[in-house]
Structure 1
Amino acid sequence: MAKHLYCVVSRDGGDAAVSGDCAYLVPYRDIALVVKESSPINYASLPKDILVRHLANHQSLIEGIMKECTAVPIKFGTSAMDDGELLEILESGYPCFKNAIDSMAGKVEVDLIALWNDLDSTLRELGERDEIRRFKEEIATASREELREAAIELGKMVRVALEEENGRVGNEILFALKEHHLEQRIREHFDDRMLLNVAFLVESEKKNALDEQIEGLDKRYCGRINFRVIGPLPPHSFNTLEICRIGAGEIEEAMNIIGVVPGDDKDEVRKAYRKQLRKYHPDNNSGDPDAQMIFEKFSRAYKILTGCSNLAFGKDAIMVRVVE
């Protein structure tokens, strides 16, 4: 049976959080991993609908746990082979786990999606802008062939106008909410009606104030915009933990690139990194066509060495790091 990892929690409250669920805690010092046993799953081979169901179950379990204690999500699909690997993960990742829990204590994620309620009406309004209206007048007497090309150009103009309006109104919304969150992450739009898709990191006790401010925005825009609030959620957008095993060869290569040796601690790794940063930065190697690739390799080596503990030649290691 594989051991699927869901999140890391503080042991204070963790027992109650998983009570009644087939998930269980694997404790280490003052933290614990939340784990479930099941058959190994190759998520990459699953049909999309089944994959989405697994992801929803993963998130639902974490959301239930966070009601009782601070829970920092672990990247979906992470698993361990046995209890020995779980212990290795806890020992190697403890500093990162502990820091993540402490930094997220008393905080939740709240997602906000803002959509035009009537996109057609918004597009008609944009079509009355001076530059678009003048263009319509100019092509009114165009031939059929000219009109076909003009219609394409008109569509581009309206699309640009919509993007500008989305940006203007989106910035108005963000400005109105800036006092009610700690951080924000702007996300990609996935719908033509969408003008804003953002995740907020919020102090738990201030979520109601954020909700009230969004209600005020709903009235301000007189129903033209549909505000969808999702949360409170675990801080997926701000503090999701990635756990992976790095091979001995890759560790040795990373040490050689950065210029450190086994036994050097994280401070020495950082010093070596800063010392060589100027040497590898693309801005200082503008004549080298491979400069960007070399710099990315250098950066990857640094991430490996700062994400792994107990580094040594000839041995693989567990890397734990925060991804956003």
Structure 2
Amino acid sequence: MKDGLYVYGIIKEAGPQEFGEIGIGNNAHARVFALGHQGLAAIVSHSPWRVYESLSREEVIKDLAIHQLVTEKVMQRFTIAPVKFGTLLESEDEVRAFLTNDANLLAGLLDEIAGKIELDLVAWWELAKIIATLPGRNVEVREQQRKLALKGENVSLEDKILLGQCIERALKEEKEKCLQVITQTLGKVVLDTSLHDLANDEMIINAGFLLEKSKEELFHATVEALDQTLEGNINFRIVGPLPLYSFSTIVFHKIDVAEVEDARKELGISGELTEQAVRNAYRQRACLLAIREFLASQEEDVEKLFVTREHFIAAMKE
């Protein structure tokens, strides 16, 4: 199995840097170091080449934990823009080319995220406890339970289904209210929020919060205040500070030259392949497609052809 260079993140170059044997390796942890070039440096380790889609869940989780450990250790000394988990490049030259080609973008990103951190927050409730106290907070549930109590042994399956639906609606409303209180309150402290998927029905929020490092203590104090506001019915867990995984993760795409040439031919682009050339080609194709669709749905008389031609010319001048 050949080795590659596993990339954890990007920092501003500050001379040779070593971070110890803590990286993703074969049977042992690999040496993690900074590979610098033109003012930037990639945090890398020599690691076995692997396709993560083909690995077992246990192997992926183990490497993900190492990836996060490395980026968080680097974060203690530098501003780091994390690179997407599982990024492997073939050689040091390829890493340097990546740093060179995107130097302005990477430097600008590092300037933008300097002094900022991510804090991840998970909030959940204990469903049995919430349901037990729900009638005291929800009139509809309380009334439905009263009706069932009056029926005694004559309660039907339909009655129980109606109560269940009533409880479900009430829980949904309470969860939405709790989520709104949490996001609006923390929104006054943070710069941005990234909502993640919920793992189960008891979870109310699973999110990353972007904030100035100087406001970390305020964030914790605000969560404690939320706990009081929500009367201790919600459990909170804060993870961090973390690199900006949810906001500034770099994704490396290797471009196939043959695919680029095929795309150039398909779009009819000659000369230098620039962003503006691609935009113009797409616009022209869109206009031609609109004309074909119009002609397919209308009678092809001279007047309509003239109008279509004028629309086409006007669109190309925009």
TM-score by length of 1: 0.75
**Which stretch has the larger CA shift, 42-51 or 172-181?**
42-51
Are the structure 2 counterparts of residues 231 and 84 from structure 1 closer, same or farther at C-alpha, using a change threshold of 3 Å? same
Say whether residues 1:119 and 2:127 are aligned partners: yes
Are the structure 2 counterparts of residues 107 and 261 from structure 1 closer, same or farther at C-alpha, using a change threshold of 3 Å? farther
Are the structure 2 counterparts of residues 123 and 203 from structure 1 closer, same or farther at C-alpha, using a change threshold of 3 Å? same
- CA drift at 1:19: 5.9
Structure number with higher relative contact order (C-alpha < 8 Å, ≥ 6 residues apart)? 1
Q: 1:207 aligns with which of 216, 238, 247?
A: 216
Amino acid at match of 1:121: K
Q: 1:68 aligns with which of 73, 77, 81?
A: 77
Q: Residue 231 of structure 2: SS of its match in structure 1? A: coil
Amino acid at match of 2:129: S
- CA drift at 1:251: 2.0
What are the superposed Cα offsets for residues 167-215 of structure 1, whole Å, 9 maximum, x if unpaired? Answer: 1111111111222111111122112221111211111111111111112
Q: Residue 184 of structure 1: SS of its match in structure 2? A: strand
**Which stretch has the larger CA shift, 229-238 or 251-260?**
251-260
- CA drift at 1:47: 2.1
Say whether residues 1:7 and 2:3 are aligned partners: no
Amino acid at match of 2:123: A
Are the structure 2 counterparts of residues 112 and 262 from structure 1 closer, same or farther at C-alpha, using a change threshold of 3 Å? farther
- CA drift at 1:230: 0.8
**Which has the greater radius of gyration?**
2
Quote the Cα distance in structure 1 between the aligned partners of 2:83 and 2:236. Answer: 29
- CA drift at 1:245: 1.3
- CA drift at 1:258: 6.4
The within-5 A match list for 1:1-324 is 1-12=3-14, 15-16=16-17, 18=19, 22-116=31-125, 118-127=126-135, 129-136=138-145, 147-148=156-157, 150-255=159-264, 260-266=269-275, 268-269=276-277, 272=280, 275=283
**Which stretch has the larger CA shift, 22-31 or 135-144?**
135-144
Amino acid at match of 1:3: L
Quote the Cα distance in structure 2 between the aligned partners of 1:281 and 1:183. Answer: 40
Amino acid at match of 1:18: F
| Contact 2:17/2:34 (<8 A) preserved | no
Quote the Cα distance in structure 1 between the aligned partners of 2:177 and 2:281. Answer: 41
Structure 2 segments unaligned to the other structure (5+ residues): 23-30, 297-318
| Contact 1:189/1:196 (<8 A) preserved | yes
Amino acid at match of 2:104: P
| Contact 1:258/1:269 (<8 A) preserved | no
| Contact 1:139/1:147 (<8 A) preserved | no
**Which stretch has the larger CA shift, 21-30 or 257-266?**
257-266
**Which stretch has the larger CA shift, 220-229 or 177-186?**
220-229
What are the superposed Cα offsets for residues 102-154 of structure 1, whole Å, 9 maximum, x if unpaired? Answer: 221111111111111x321212333563333444556675999x944554454
Aligned length: 280
- CA drift at 1:278: 7.4
Amino acid at match of 2:240: G
Amino acid at match of 2:130: T
TM-score by length of 2: 0.76
Percentage identity across aligned positions? 27
| Contact 1:109/1:199 (<8 A) preserved | yes
Amino acid at match of 1:272: N
Are the structure 2 counterparts of residues 151 and 257 from structure 1 closer, same or farther at C-alpha, using a change threshold of 3 Å? farther
Quote the Cα distance in structure 2 between the aligned partners of 1:178 and 1:61. Answer: 29
**Which stretch has the larger CA shift, 174-183 or 119-128?**
119-128
**Which stretch has the larger CA shift, 227-236 or 133-142?**
133-142
| Contact 2:117/2:210 (<8 A) preserved | yes
Partner of 2:310: none
